[in-house]
Amino acid sequence: MSATGIGAAVRRKEDQRFVTGKGHYTDDVSRPGQCHAYFLRSPHAHAKIKNIDSEAAAAMPGVLAVLTGADLAADKIGNLICGWMITSKDGSQMKMAPHPAIAHGKANYVGDPVAVVVAETLPQAKDAAEKVKVDYDLLPALCDPAKAQDQGAPQIHEVAPRNTIYQWHLGDAKAVEAAFKTARHVTKLDFINNRLVPNAIEPRAAIGEYDAGSESLTLWNTTQNPHVARLVMSAFVGLAPEHKLRVIAPDVGGGFGSKIFIYPEEVVCLWAARKIGRPIKWVAERSEAFLTDAHGRDHVTHAEMAFDPDGKVTGLRVKTVANLGAYMSTFSSSVPTYLYGTLLSGQYEIPAIYCEVDAVYTNTVPVDAYRGAGRPEATFVVERLIEVGGRQMGVDPADLRQKNFIKTFPHQTPVIMIYDAGDYHASLKKALELADYAGLAKRKRESVRHDKLRGIGFSTYIEACGIAPSQAVGSLGCGVGLWESAEVRVNPTGTVEVLTGCHQHGQGHETTFAQVVSERLGIPLENVSVVHGDTDKVQFGMGTYGSRSGAVGISAIVKALDKIEAKAKKVAAHMLEAAEGDIVFEDGKFTVAGTDKSAAWGEVALNAYIAHKFAGQELEPGLKEGAFYDPTNFTFPAGCHICEVEVDPQTGESEIVAWTAVDDFGTVVNPMIVEGQVHGGIAQGVGQALLEGAIYDKDGQLVTGSLMDYCMPRAQDLPALKVEMTKTAAPSNPLGIKGCGEAGAIAAPVAVINAITDAIGTEDLPMPATPQAVWRALQKANDRRTAA
Amino acid sequence: MTAVALTVNGKAVTGDVDPRTLLVQFLRENLRLTGTHVGCDTSQCGACVVHVNGKAIKSCTVFVWQIEGANITTIEGLAEPNGPLHPMQEAFREHHGLQCGYCTPGMIMTAIDMVNRKGHELDDPTIRHELEGNLCRCTGYHNIVKAIAAGAKAMKGHVQVQS
Ligand code: FES
Ligand code: FES
């Protein structure tokens, strides 16, 4: 390992600009002649739009245009789409309702845009928006996914009777039934995986600009995947042909999934920019973000696990209703299906699994992937059942897990996945030691002495990252391929630009990707720059989400580097007048094997461009190579998180007193960055378990619509975190990388709930486990005990 | 319109602004000092923290006319353009106290204020308590807390530049 190569905790290259306030986020961009958009949004969850009178608004000072869904339709701007086709168990296709960028005829959630006002200044646009008169006919609202399919429930979209988008299933129902028939013990649980608001600290923003000379559009946008945004806005929404649309994603202030999707506002900014002939900027306010960013989770689940007399799991059945909100967001359909059902085997050898998922529409903001996306929900099901099962059978939860671990690889689960590598014992063992599991009984006694209840909770989670190969995801309904591209451009002076289709919004790719290149080519880190986030620079790419950038994005870079090395050796062979096969490349130097003849990296780069040592016919000048990399399998990061809590039974308050994480991410390029990713994921998972929950009232108003009502984790809510790793390399990519971005958020929620329920001695506890929820659970358990 | 005059990062600046203009808007839009960020509309996130007359203030909560004549330091004013970083900036970089960087300017300005008020030896509970008004969605705070503790120590003897 070199000081800056793979495995080194290199300090981040991008930080210089961020710590000095020199980052360039979308809202920092200001275009000449720019005007401002303000969206008028439906205050009602479900209402017919009878009439929109914008005359008075249009006459207000500074107003350039007031545009509605009718204008959008008149200009034949297409609908937003969901790009993953799910087929129901009866063979029918999912029911995708039209999703216009501005509601037309009917508004379907509070926050659905009904008009946009474009004015010289933002205050002028806001003032004018107050003068737009919208005549609504109120309809009954539906917010509870559990009631969406009821007879007589409000009907949201014509295409989806009983608000049902699909009824999907996976696994073998008969085998599961047989397993349950012969089970010694069955654990049954009902739970709600609470609805979350992603809340990246940078709100979404868009600037649309039209250049009449080149008849092309440019969008600056807070997006995690500029190329996919361009593809959808071109091919489906029809804003401009792909080659006439440029999407730039500059520095992006966190995404966590919420910035993957193609949203109405960017469509409107582009469309209106052309109409008005001026650049148009829109920046979400936080309250607008609450109302319009795709939310996460929101599952209602019943699950059962069957055990044999030895405590071996023999079967698992799961029935989930997934709330997808008012419209189908870009990847929403895949989250409660192929990112959920396929992970239900956890780290365990479970012979039979059957999972049914009904996805429904409700009058709430669309729900889509949020850090972990389906995998935290699956982990919650499996890890809650095994923990409670252990408690019910009187078996130590760590022992029960060990007994059921998958021990040999590759392992085919009953739910599609083939796990290719892992060592679940190793991570559990290490975590038990670090968490001093042996000393728990003593710590519990100490807690009792100061009137507290102490509990411990495990989460031996698995996830699937780097979702690929494209052929496999295609066969499951995905509308795109999930490979990644890279281009390595060597300059005549030997410095290098790496162009990647991934996008960074906190992950530190500018550093980690450069580490890989620097090590391989033997050049200093500062001689490598990573270029991303601009469709005019990078040819194509699939963006960053699903912890894919390491496993897929870096692999593409490695493939391009292979080609660079091959070409550079040819150049060196000409320079050194040797046979190509005799050239050895090591530590940035080309040597003729067995001689002292050599050429430095910089000399070879220069020679590739001046081309004085070879004729163009024998070797093309230049040193630039591209690669598209499609992995052979998903990767399967896994590990063990242990959460220890102390609960005050008087107040219901839970304090996390210790957190131990041992994760297997395969090869780690930069451990400092990887640990940071784990910290952030855990914080979001703890937020879900203890603090966060989006709540709609019965009329469809989001009552947790600001940072004052929706509780985000603060520094005080979290302990210092013990984060360690084990390693089994991923066989499906050249460096053996598995991916680390979501692990914390996947593992954490259930670890917390397992810990609190251990402390309070009752399993009936909802998320978020606020002091009130914990206190109530304790009272309920007391009442039950007194009644018994 | 209202005329305002302030000192920002050591330079005298003036402006003619709509009375509704918040300090953060004045900094970002009039002066193009875009290092100060806006993350919310309810004074919760702290992405907008700057120093007004040496004290940390959420710049989204004051109208610029309210602080007429004040001395403002923003993230851009902590270090000389080509000089070394401020010790707190350096500590955030060294301890990986940032990921997306969006909360970072506010965090650093809050951290320096914390040191000014509480001294150079800051323990974990103090730092966590003091960060009540700053949200970070990326880091889980672990490394921010480490960075602030280290930055606080490194600030001993540091003299603030007035660029
Ligand atoms: S923008 Fe000032 S506190 Fe959020
Ligand atoms: S680093 Fe992204 S919000 Fe703090």
CA distance B80 to chain A (A): 10
Distance from residue A570's CA to the centre of ligand 2 (Å): 45
Considering the domain boundaries, does residue B161 fall inside one? no
pLDDT tens track for A13-22: 999 999 999 9
Residues 74-133 of B with CB under 8 A from A: 74-76, 78-79, 85, 89-90, 92-94, 96, 98-105, 108, 124, 127-129, 131-132
User: Could A19 and B144 be called an inter-chain contact, meaning their C-beta atoms sit closer than 8 Å?
Assistant: no
User: Is there a single domain that holds both residue B102 and residue B138?
Assistant: yes
CA distance B69 to chain A (A): 24
Q: Is B148 on the interface with A (CB under 8 A)?
A: no
Chain A contact probe: residue of B18, B142, B161, B163 with most A CBs at under 10 A: B142
Q: What is the CATH number of the domain that holds B141?
A: 1.10.150.120
Q: What is the CATH number of the domain that holds B48?
A: 3.10.20.30
Q: Ligand 2 within 6 A of B48 CB?
A: no
Q: Kindly tell me if the per-residue pLDDT of B163 is higher than 50.
A: no
Q: Chain B residue with minimal CA distance to A681?
A: B140
| Closest by Cβ to A680, choosing from B28, B128, B140 | B140
Considering the domain boundaries, does residue B113 fall inside one? yes
User: Is there a single domain that holds both residue B140 and residue B92?
Assistant: yes
Q: Mean pLDDT of all residues in chain B?
A: 96
User: Is there a single domain that holds both residue B42 and residue B109?
Assistant: no
The C-alpha angle with vertex A248 and arms to A244 and A249, in degrees rounded to 5, equals 150
Q: Ligand 1 within 6 A of B60 CB?
A: yes
Contact B36, B28 (CB under 8 A): yes
Q: Which residues of B touch A198 (CB under 8 A)?
A: 137
> How far from chain centre, in Å, is Cα A619?
44
Considering the domain boundaries, does residue B92 fall inside one? yes
pLDDT value at residue A1: 55
pLDDT tens track for B71-92: 999 999 999 988 999 999 999 9
DSSP per-residue letters across B56-124: EEETTSSBGGGGTT-EEE-GGGSS-TTSPPPHHHHHHHHTT--SS-SSHHHHHHHHHHHHHHH-S---H
What is the DSSP-derived secondary structure letter of residue A580? G
Q: Is A15 on the interface with B (CB under 8 A)?
A: yes
Q: Ligand 2 within 6 A of B98 CB?
A: yes
Structural domains for chain A: 31-139+202-253+259-292 (3.90.1170.50), 299-468+633-787 (3.30.365.10), 483-629 (3.30.365.10)
Distance from residue B97's CA to the centre of ligand 2 (Å): 9
Nearest ligand by distance to the CA of B60? 1
Q: Kindly tell me if the per-residue pLDDT of B160 is higher than 80.
A: no
C-alpha to C-alpha distance for A571 and A614, rounded to whole angstroms: 8
Considering the domain boundaries, does residue B149 fall inside one? yes
User: Is there a single domain that holds both residue B6 and residue B68?
Assistant: yes
Choosing from B77, B109, B143, the residue where a domain stops is B77
Residues of chain A with pLDDT under 50: none
Nearest ligand by distance to the CA of A199? 2
Find where tokens 């168990």 sit. A89
Q: Is A21 on the interface with B (CB under 8 A)?
A: yes
> How far from chain centre, in Å, is Cα A616?
47
Considering the domain boundaries, does residue B114 fall inside one? yes
**In a 3-state reduction of DSSP, which class is residue A249?**
coil
User: Is there a single domain that holds both residue B108 and residue B55?
Assistant: no
User: Could B101 and A285 be called an inter-chain contact, meaning their C-beta atoms sit closer than 8 Å?
Assistant: no
What is the extent of the structural domain holding B103?
Answer: 87-154
Choosing from B20, B42, B77, the residue where a domain stops is B77
User: Is there a single domain that holds both residue B25 and residue B67?
Assistant: yes
pTM of the model: 0.96
**How far is residue A490 from each of residues A518, A520, A609, A615, measured CA to CA in Å?**
12, 13, 10, 20
User: Is there a single domain that holds both residue B66 and residue B113?
Assistant: no
CA distance A266 to chain B (A): 19
CA distance B88 to chain A (A): 9
Nearest ligand by distance to the CA of A707? 1
User: Is there a single domain that holds both residue B69 and residue B7?
Assistant: yes
User: Is there a single domain that holds both residue B104 and residue B66?
Assistant: no
Q: What is the ipTM of this complex?
A: 0.97
Q: Whose CA is nearest to atom 1 of ligand 1?
A: B38
Q: Is A27 on the interface with B (CB under 8 A)?
A: yes
User: Could A20 and B76 be called an inter-chain contact, meaning their C-beta atoms sit closer than 8 Å?
Assistant: yes
Distance from residue B123's CA to the centre of ligand 2 (Å): 22
Name the strand (E) or helix (H) holding A472: helix A470-475
Choosing from B23, B57, B77, the residue where a domain stops is B77
User: Is there a single domain that holds both residue B68 and residue B92?
Assistant: no
Q: Ligand 2 within 6 A of A680 CB?
A: no
User: Is there a single domain that holds both residue B70 and residue B98?
Assistant: no
C-alpha to C-alpha distance for A739 and A736, rounded to whole angstroms: 10
User: Is there a single domain that holds both residue B148 and residue B93?
Assistant: yes
How many structural domains compose chain B? 2
**How far is residue A441 from each of residues A138, A446, A454, A754, B48, measured CA to CA in Å?**
58, 9, 9, 16, 46
Distance from residue B76's CA to the centre of ligand 1 (Å): 18
